[in-house]
Copies of this chain bind each other. A is one copy, B any other.
Amino acid sequence: MPKLCSDSSGGCAVCPSRLTTEWQALNDEQVVLLDQSKRRRFYSPGETLYMQGDEGDGLFCLQSGLIGLRQIDENGKSVLLRLCQSGSTIGYRAYLTNSDHFNTAEVLSPSVACFIERTTVRKLLENNPLLGEKFLEHALEDLSMVEGEYARSLTMTMRSRFLHVLAVFYEQLGQRDEKGSPTLVLPIKKKELADLIGAKPESVSRLIRRIEDDGLLKVDDRHIHFHDMDAVLRDAGVAI
């Protein structure tokens, strides 16, 4: 049963996510329309925003939390294509191409997302050419990113790709501990980490142990303590 959040947020007009998404292109009047027709909801881990194969009848705006886009092929092989954090528009491709969703949007951390339905999006797109441009920008950005990951997947080892993921997480979520050394709390399970780089959980376990043995970092459950960030970045194939 869909539970609507009590909206203590003040709505789209003051939603910080709006300013990082396509919806920054809207004028005041359009923001009111968006605000009235959106459906805001809380999602728990394990739920989905939509499933692969569902009709793309609108799109989602992620206000907080973490969503994973998972693709499953005919043989049941499953991949996490990428993660979406607060301020992402999700499911826009299926909507814009008028087709079914190509992947499943899984809720990985407790999340708050707004659903904006087909007719609203259409109205806004018709009255605001800037909005279309923003979607184009978004698509091009996603394209660059995926192409980059694709090239990495073809040329780099699992170890490199694993360290690359950690480096990206560190950029977004990294902290310094009391001693001033870089630290990270993983936002996802190790199994999901494995799905993200196309590995098996066993391989990730072994990978971590070897990287620990090499002295680059120490993993304690979901806590990662980096000992040699330069080596991490070098092995991740990132120019330092």
Contacts and interface: CB of A to CB of B under 8 A. Distances in A.
Which secondary structure dominates chain A's binding surface?
A: helix
Interface stretch (A35-43, A74-82, A211-219): A74-82
Q: Which size class do A's interface residues fall under?
A: 35 or more
B74 A147 contact: no
Number of copies: 2
A172 interface: no
Interface stretch (A24-32, A58-66, A107-115, A150-158): A150-158
A144 B150 CA distance: 12
Given A133-B132, A146-B146, A71 B140 contact: no
Contact of A239 (B74, B132, B139): B74
Contact of A71 (B73, B142, B151, B237): B151
Contacts of A129: 129, 132
A96 B150 contact: no
26 contacts: A73-B237, A75-B237, A77-B155, A79-B150, A79-B154, A81-B147, A93-B140, A93-B143, A96-B136, A96-B140, A97-B137, A97-B144, A102-B144, A102-B147, A129-B129, A129-B132, A132-B132, A132-B136, A135-B136, A136-B136, A136-B139, A146-B146, A146-B150, A149-B150, A153-B153, A154-B197
